[in-house]
Structure 1
């Protein structure tokens, strides 16, 4: 392919929803730099979305070739799956819930490529009708999946193995039956939403990854593949597969605009 042809290939746009923080006395929209970097590693252009009204959801999706739902220190509010808050000391982000939960079914309807990480995976499950364990470590038979230690290096160190379910999207992408992942979460999937397929489990049986039926690329993962992704072959396979799906979507959109 010539350089001239290569430069005409559209760069896929990936929406990255922001979280909400109060810094000093003022509210801010924030997105973790590691997620923005992961989108770029996937070969796409990150577009951080602060929030959105109902009227803005479809115009945003019109711009997008993919979506990356980020992790966050905050949890999805349990009222969205019919429960009361069990631990009021844990952070919530109702402003993010307010627009991402109605946003997700719309992007699924459009079959946009999707990578949902940690909170993002939990968001995806809840938005489609599933529920969450609010404190996995308090449940009999489950391990403590929260990050250990005081530093980011220790908290994001490999913590346990995940076992890939055969015949699914994740197996196709990573080409491994099992691999080790970090673990930095207190909540996790309880009841899987209709239309979702388990793609991997932790040794204690906890759902670690799932896909969305009928979509070419839509994965929710409970670990953090964006952490030092460039040094992790499994993470890079995930990001490249996501980026390829977004690139194919961008090419189709570009071709339609030229018709």
Structure 2
């Protein structure tokens, strides 16, 4: 089976669908993994409670932490504000997956909420709402009055740090950064990969890990055409394929 596609575990989120509690993943994440040669599987948050967690993850070659409607629970990073949009099961699973990926060198790509989870896991902190922080001026949040295809188009630049992994792509790009929470203190062992012109951290990576990258924007939305999205997913699946064959 060494030539089979790498298996990519995608974290699921709690949602109410037709009045019923459900676990769900937006289709674009699944499509992007498929498009770049991965074999996606969906992990419900109950996987975190499994006594067989590591045996379950042993079949996985890469992990994708998606964006989400919910936000990281304040208690995870020492905050005390009230956060209305929480998914504690998602938190539990994502933090366990981050610990596993760190320990086993499993490739991991973290998007939006995933980046925030990654930063908090490594003892960083978050701004609960970047709009309440003096100095941030870029449009980091979508205009909900617009149709979805407009909301998720690129809105500001990111400047890529020369010492990071993304430097292999280039120096600057235009991204669709849509979020409320934002990195405050960068976590331990994490390298800042890209900044918005207003200084907001837009990408991070884990030092000395084969591939663990978090981005604040949404590469899954334009995964076929956007050059930085192509770079991220190509690299992610490449390292997942290496994980499968080693």
Report the TM-score range of the alignment, normalised by the length of the smaller protein: over 0.9
The yes-or-no answer on 1:124 pairing with 2:99 is: no
- Per the alignment, do residues 248 and 130 of structure 1 end up closer, same or farther by CA in structure 2, a change over 3 Å counting? same
Would you tell me which structure has more helix in proportion to its own residues?
1
Q: Does 1:109 align with 2:99?
A: no
Scaled by the length of structure 2, what TM-score is found? Answer: 0.94
> What RMSD, in angstroms, separates the aligned Cα atoms of the two structures?
1.5
Match of 2:31 in 1: 37
Corresponding residue for 1:147? 142
Pick from 66, 72, 87 the counterpart of residue 70 of structure 1: 66
* Partner of residue 191 from structure 1, selected from 185, 191, 212: 185
* Partner SS state of residue 203, structure 1: coil
Match of 1:17 in 2: 11
- 1:136 aligns with one of 119, 130, 147: 130
Return the match for 1:58 from 45, 54, 58: 54
Q: In the TM superposition, what is the alpha-carbon distance from 1:86 to its structure 2 partner? A: 4.2
TM-score (norm. length: structure 1): 0.89
- Mapped to 2, the partners of 1:240 and 1:99 lie a distance apart of 25
Aligned to 1:256: none
Higher radius of gyration, 1 or 2: 1
Kindly provide the CA deviation profile for residues 22-70 of structure 1, in whole angstroms up to 9, marking residues without a partner as x: 2233210001101111111221100100121152321222011100100
Q: Which runs of 5+ in 2 are unaligned?
A: none
Q: Secondary structure at the match of 1:75?
A: coil
In the alignment, the residues of structure 1 paired with residue 53 and residue 83 of structure 2 have an alpha-carbon distance, to the nearest angstrom, of 31
Please tell me whether the aligned partners of residues 12 and 247 of structure 1 are also in contact (alpha carbons under 8 angstroms): yes
Q: Secondary structure at the match of 1:16?
A: strand
**Number of aligned pairs?**
242
